[in-house]
Amino acid sequence: MDAAAREWVDRFLRHLRSERRVSDHTVSAYRQDLKALLAHCERRKFPSWGAVGNGEIRAFAAAQHAGGLAPRSIQRRLSAARTFFSYLQREGAGTQNPALEVRAPRGKKRLPGTLDTDQMARLLAFRVQDSLSVRDKAIMELFYSSGLRLSELVGLNMGDVDFADLTVRVLGKGAKGRIVPVGRYAIAALQAWLNERVKLRDIERTPQPALFLGRGGQRLTARAVQLRVSEWARRQGISMHVHPHMFRHSFATHLLESSGDLRGVQELLGHSDIGTTQIYTHLDFQHLAKVYDAAHPRARRRP
Catalytic residues: 149, 173, 245, 248, 271, 280
Beta bridge partners of 178: 170
Report whether 291 contacts 260 (CB < 8 A): no
DSSP H stretches of helix in 20-167: 24-43, 54-66, 71-90, 117-123, 131-146, 150-154
What are the contacts of 8-11 at 24+ separation with CB within 8 A? 8/49, 8/88, 8/93, 9/34, 9/35, 9/38, 9/84, 11/91
Strands (DSSP E) contained in the chain are 161-162, 167-171, 177-181
The tally of CA atoms less than 13 A away on the side-chain side of residue 271 is 18
The residue among 131, 247, 253 whose CA lies nearest residue 189 is 131
CA distance 126 to 122: 8
Q: Directed axis angle between helix 244-259 and helix 131-146, to 10°?
A: 40
Report whether 48 contacts 2 (CB < 8 A): yes
Signed CA dihedral, 232, 236, 241, 245: sign only = negative
CA distance 30 to 43: 20
Signed CA dihedral, 277, 279, 284, 288: sign only = positive
Give phi and psi for 261, each to the nearest 5: -95, 90
The tally of CA atoms less than 13 A away on the side-chain side of residue 188 is 4
